[in-house]
């Protein structure tokens, strides 16, 4: 079965529950994990913190429906593993994981070591936000090193061709990779790592940045960011991968795919998530190797 990770477990909870009623047949085709960056946690990254709270009710509902839940602890500058909010969320998820499907999305080596030691049953996913701005890499060596540390790796969009080629050549481990099918960052952006570093700093230094310093949060996340000769926008493009390309990843052994969408309006979320899942449902699965 194809595994799909979908954004918005808390922020889009009502839309997700409605979707389970209106598109139950489509949902049942996949093994789904929802992810979120809740509780204004300093460890959150990828987007500026909003004040949304993970509750036992949400977690229990996902468990009853046999879905996974991932915490998005993708802050780049986690130095203190004693953070009270972060550890509360970890305890909450770790102690309520009956289906052994929950996990953490992260990029911090400090946090990775802490999680492996203290929360060994959580699946660890290396976030797409952790990759460098430059694409001048030894791709095989770079991704093989990540394979040794993480259960799942989300490649940067601009790395997909190289990752696919290496998987097809048997030089990477396909079942370690999760392919984001709808990126909204320009694949040639020269401000990539710095953008996520700014968000990490804001989430670490302000308790509720979106509410307490909305103008600064908006400037960092939404407005174009510039420095001499370089421009970055958080919403540069909406680049969607089609099923024929996704099929090539599946045929190598890739079984994890990801759909973003926390920043969509409720109406947009209701519109786009079924479209993306429908595209994934076009993949011709080979039952014999599942």
Both tokens assigned to 153? 């790796």
Q: What is the pLDDT of residues 35-73, one digit of tens each?
A: 999 999 999 999 899 999 999 999 999 999 999 999 999
Q: What is the topology classification, in CATH, of domain 3-289? A: TIM Barrel (3.20.20)
Helix (H, G, I), strand (E, B) or coil at 286: coil
Model confidence at 277: pLDDT above 90: yes
Model confidence at 186: pLDDT above 80: no
Distance CA 3, CA 251 (A): 14
Distance CA 178, CA 175 (A): 8
Residues comprising the chain, all counted: 290
112: how many CB neighbours lie within 10 A of its CB? Answer: 18
100 Cβ neighbours under 8 A, 6+ residues apart: 121
CA-based nearest residue to 196, from 262, 127, 114, 110:
127
Q: What is the DSSP string of 149-165?
A: H-SEE---GGGHHHHHH
Q: What is the pLDDT of residues 188-242, one digit of tens each?
A: 677 788 888 888 989 999 888 888 887 777 777 765 554 444 444 444 445 688 8
Domain residue spans of the chain: 3-289
Q: Considering only residues 287 and 84, tell me which one the structure prediction assigns the higher pLDDT.
A: 84
What is the pLDDT at residue 279? 94
What is the pLDDT at residue 39? 97
- Cα first-last separation, the chain: 7
């Amino acid at each position: 079965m194809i595994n799909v990770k979908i954004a918005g477990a808390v922020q889009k909870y009502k839309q997700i529950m409605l979707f389970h009623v209106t598109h139950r047949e489509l949902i049942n085709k996949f093994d789904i994990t929802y992810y979120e960056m809740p509780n204004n946690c300093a460890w959150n990254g990828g987007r500026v913190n909003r004040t949304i709270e993970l509750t036992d009710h949400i977690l229990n509902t996902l468990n009853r429906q046999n879905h996974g839940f991932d915490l998005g602890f993708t802050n780049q500058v986690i130095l203190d593993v004693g953070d009270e909010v972060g550890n509360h969320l970890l305890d909450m998820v770790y102690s309520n994981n009956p289906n052994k499907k929950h996990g953490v999305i992260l990029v911090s080596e400090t946090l990775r070591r802490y999680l492996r030691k203290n929360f060994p049953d959580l699946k660890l996913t290396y976030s797409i936000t952790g990759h460098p701005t430059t694409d001048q890499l030894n791709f095989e060596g770079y991704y093989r090193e990540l394979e040794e540390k993480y259960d799942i790796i989300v490649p940067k969009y601009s790395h997909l061709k190289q990752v696919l080629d290496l998987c097809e050549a048997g030089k990477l481990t396909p079942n370690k990779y999760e392919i984001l099918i709808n990126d909204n960052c320009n694949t040639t952006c020269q401000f990539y790592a710095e953008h996520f570093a700014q968000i990490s700093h804001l989430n670490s230094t302000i308790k509720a940045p979106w509410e307490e310093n909305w103008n600064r949060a908006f400037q960092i996340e939404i407005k174009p960011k510039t420095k001499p000769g370089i421009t970055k926008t958080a919403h540069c493009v909406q680049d969607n991968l089609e099923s024929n390309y996704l099929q090539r990843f599946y045929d190598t052994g890739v079984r994890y795919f990801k759909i973003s969408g926390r920043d969509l309006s409720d109406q947009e979320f209701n519109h786009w998530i079924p479209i993306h899942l429908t595209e994934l449902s076009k993949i011709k699965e080979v039952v014999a190797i599942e």
